[in-house]
Chains A and B, each alone.
Chain A
């Protein structure tokens, strides 16, 4: 399992793995929005958490369709499926998701504070946004695995994955953004939305890999 994690991590970080593309896309999205809404610093600092979350959501959806497709092309997906009598397939999927998250989403989370400074966000809001991103983005990857597994046999599945996953990712977005806003605005408490976000990640950590494993098996026969 650790080997699988390291292998996927290496593949992800290497050139063509898509990790860099994700972070470039994130930068592009976040830097485009100030051009669209204008350089008003007060407005930007108010929109900041939302922009970071939208950027992270889109960037993490971007690379998802490659989660299983590359493995399918070189045949290692078949090996994973064959090894499923030794390891639970859902567990392998979970490990793959974690590796994918480390390689292509964790850099976004690390880059988020830097971009937040550019957006004139307060330090507290910055910390909260980064923390919610750190907790919330795995949920998108986990549930995205289901979409990626369903669309693995399709030649142009990328867009379909996003369409299928976006509705399920919306709760994550809602609670992530509301938790980051709650840290700045006074009456709203930070903890409840944040705990719901944690719960969402945990639920998706089970639902995502299990259903993705079922979808991969179904696509096999």
Chain B
């Protein structure tokens, strides 16, 4: 039974990397990573709760839109969800590069752990968007460029999740998922610029523009704080998911060893 890179390094102890490669490859040792992330996760969790509470308070205190009324408050969660759905694929693409180029043993764990989180954020972005769209556009869903491309992103997350769970050999699954992730990264610029390239119902970019944001500061600040809060939440969840996956692989490896021992005893 082939073991994944992670379990094999964890069972042998420290990886045989030359000294002075840097902290990034030092993190390749799962034990060291677990120790460090164990300290970071609680801090991140507290910070994200704090920022989200402040952001929620500010976004409810923010002025109502003169046209949209109180429904504009959906923006403060919809926009961060949409940003994060793309950022998560970005993180996964970096992890994919880590798997294929640097062969960092934790990169594939990171990719596998990020996919379900990204799926949830994308689903939430689509759901909040359609709840917002019903009173504003009069319809739950239109097949316009941005909605369609985000929906494609949703499908790609599903595909990656299916792929990582269809192959039992962890390192082989990681490489396959990494390749598909990198190919799928083509979709990211398409989503970002879809509203500029095609005339669609979805409004064009209002925050990240070359000529500065066109959104009023009284609404921009709560939005940015919410975005920071959800980003912190994402990293909290992502690190936790990576830790869970490492523990899961260790348990699997131990079960294999135990099974092998039990087999030896009966024989």
Interface residues of A, Cβ cutoff 8 Å to B: 143, 146-147, 150-151, 153-154, 157, 160, 163-164, 166-168, 170-171, 174, 203, 207, 211, 214-215, 218-219
Contact = CB atoms under 8 A, between A and B. Distances in A.
B167 A207 contact: no
Chief secondary structure at chain A's binding surface: helix
Contacts of B184: 167-168
Nearest to B175: A218
A168 B148 CA distance: 12
B146 to A, nearest CB: 13
Given A154-B166, A160-B166, A167 B172 contact: no
B158 interface: yes
A83 to B, nearest CB: 21
A185 B59 CA distance: 46
A181 B152 CA distance: 22
Chief secondary structure at chain B's binding surface: helix
Interface string B154-189: 011011001100110000100110011011101100
10 contacts: A153-B172, A157-B166, A160-B159, A163-B155, A167-B184, A168-B183, A168-B186, A170-B152, A211-B179, A218-B172
B100 interface: yes
B187 A167 contact: yes
A219 B176 contact: yes
B190 interface: yes
A163 B160 CA distance: 9
Give the interface centre of B155, B159, B179, B182 by most chain A CB atoms within 10 Å: B179
Ranked nearest first, the 10 interchain pairs of A and B with the lowest CB-CB distance are: A218-B175, A150-B176, A167-B155, A164-B159, A167-B152, A167-B156, A215-B179, A163-B159, A211-B179, A211-B183
